[in-house]
Amino acid sequence: MTKKTILVTGSAGFIGFHVTKKLLETGNKVIGIDSLNNYYEPKLKKDRNKILLESKNYKFYKLNLKNEKELKKIFTENKIDKICHLAAQAGVRYSLENPLSYEESNLKGFINIMECARHFKIKDFVYASSSSVYGKNKMDKNGFKESEEVNQPISLYAATKKANELIAYNYHHLFGINCTGLRFFTVYGPYGRPDMAIYIFTKNILAGKSIDVYNNGKMFRDFTYVGDIVDGIIKSLEKSYPYEIFNLGDSDTIELKYLITNIEQNLKQKAKINFKPIQPGDVEKTFANISKAKKMLGFNPKTKIEEGVKNFIEWYKDYYKI
């Protein structure tokens, strides 16, 4: 990609941090926006951001995207070539308890950033969707495909992500903005989110506490390493398709019990497991069909679960000085 100035929202978040880091390493300038909210420990966000601030090509704004006036000011102050919109209120279970934070971040924030793209004539817009949009869809042996209808989300979080895809289509249709939506499948890796299973399991096993495993362990996820996700995002920014949606996953479904075994092996410590029924909003199995992303983006995930878990545990021990 020719060197550009790219706006990354959620730049101090898990995926946003890794994307920003990669963009800076490859000589681009990044305008970062993050609210540094307390959905999880803000220290982790600040530590990620501190690393990014070491680059002279990174300019950071602490801002909530619902603040339309301040957001417009950022676009006035900076010449932005492309937008990579990764900021969102994440979490399926959290959406059951705090629905209004999803309306504010994932709907109002999304429209505000799209409005800026429209008024400041920014042609290329890449944004994070989610595998959760597949909801109650029945999956065949080849995994979820982008061509399926996704009209049965089973969490508010998933519904807001589906809404983002529809809003993006509208802005593409009316204003000619190139919009690429990326449905991420269970992303994990160093500097990951503390509300994700791998993080919670590692923390509790090390503390000698039991871990809650839902659906009595019969949960299957397409765990995707953050480095592979970053590769897919960068390729999407380079391609700038008029309007597309892509699955970004490892295209391999892993039983939760196998993930736990890998964590145990790396920690050299056994987990105390507390089996529980499936929770509202949870899907039993995810599996990405990535043939479209392979063909159109050249997306090719390389990091298998064993290597990815090892990388995460090494980071965790180093970060928490264990």
**Taking a C-beta distance cutoff of 8 angstroms, is the pair 23, 6 a contact?**
yes
pLDDT in tens, the chain (322 residues): 678 999 999 999 999 999 999 999 999 999 999 999 888 888 999 999 999 999 999 999 999 999 999 999 999 999 999 999 999 888 777 777 888 888 888 999 999 999 999 999 999 999 999 999 999 898 888 899 999 999 999 889 999 999 999 999 999 999 999 999 999 999 999 999 999 999 999 999 999 999 988 887 788 889 999 999 999 999 999 999 999 999 999 988 888 999 999 999 999 999 999 888 887 767 778 889 999 999 999 999 999 999 999 999 999 999 999 8
Residue 205 falls within a domain, yes or no? no
Residue 232 falls within a domain, yes or no? yes
Residue 197 falls within a domain, yes or no? no
- Domain span at residue 240? 5-186+225-249+288-302
- Looking at the DSSP bridge assignments, the partners of residue 180 are 126, 244
Residue 182 falls within a domain, yes or no? yes
Residue 256 falls within a domain, yes or no? no
Cite the active site residues: 157
At 145, which CATH number? 3.40.50.720
**CA–CA dist 217, 213 (Å, integer):** 6
User: End-to-end distance of the chain based on CA atoms, in angstroms?
Assistant: 39
Domains contained in the chain, number: 1
To the question of pTM greater than 0.85 for the whole model, the response is yes
Residue 57 falls within a domain, yes or no? yes
Sign of CA dihedral 204, 262, 254, 224: positive
